[in-house]
Amino acid sequence: MNNLLALVKQMNLIRILEALGSGTSIRKLAAKQKSGQTASIDNKTASNTSTRPFSEIIKEASHKYGVAEDVINAVIQQESSFNPTAVSSCGAMGLMQLMPSTAESLGVENAYNAEQNIMGGTFYLKQKLDEFDGNLPLALAAYNAGSGAVRKHGGIPPYKETQAYVNKIMKSVDHWA
C-alpha cells in the first residue's frame, strides 16, 4: 500500500511539473521526491535559475513583507522540510506548499523556484497576518486551512491537522509565542 501511495505521489509530481513546463529534469525531481531527499536552509540553494541560498531569500522576504525570518523558517520547515520539490497529496507545491490557484494569484510562475515560492508564500502569509490583525496563530491557521475556516469557527478550526500545525510553528517561534 505504501509503495502504491508513493507511486501516486510521484506521478502527481510529474504531472504538475509537466503542466508547469518546468525546465528541470522531471526524472531527476521525481527521483529526489521518491528518495525523500530534503534540503537544509544552510546548504541548499533556490532551484530553477537562482543560486541564492534559502537564508538570503528568506531574509529578503522578511524585510520586504515585514514577516519575521524565524516565522518564515518555521513555516517552511513545517510545510516542506526545506524541500523545494515537495508536492502534497492535494497538489500544494514547493517550499511553502502553495496551491496552484494561490501561486497563480500571487504571480508565482514556477512554484518549484525557491525564490518565487518563498517570496510568494511570505506575501501570502503577510496577507493573512493583515487579515487577522497581526494575530500569528490565526494567520497560520488561515494559511493552513483557509481564511473561511478561521472565520467560520471564530478562531483556529477544530481540525487536528490545523491545530497541530499552528502549535508546532508557534513552539518553534520563540518571540512570537
What distance in Å separates the CA atoms of residue 145 and residue 27, rounded to the nearest whole number? 31
Computed from CA positions of residues 128, 33, 108, 64, in that sequence, does the dihedral angle turn out positive or negative? positive
Residues pairing with 98 in the sheet: 93
Residue 98 phi/psi, 5° resolution?
-85, 130
Residues pairing with 53 in the sheet: 45
Quick one: angle between helices 54-65 and 114-131, nearest 10?
30
Picking from 47, 41, 45, 8, the residue whose alpha carbon sits closest to that of residue 28 is: 47
104 is a catalytic site residue: no
Catalytic residue among 60, 69, 79, 131: 79
Q: Which residues are catalytic?
A: 79
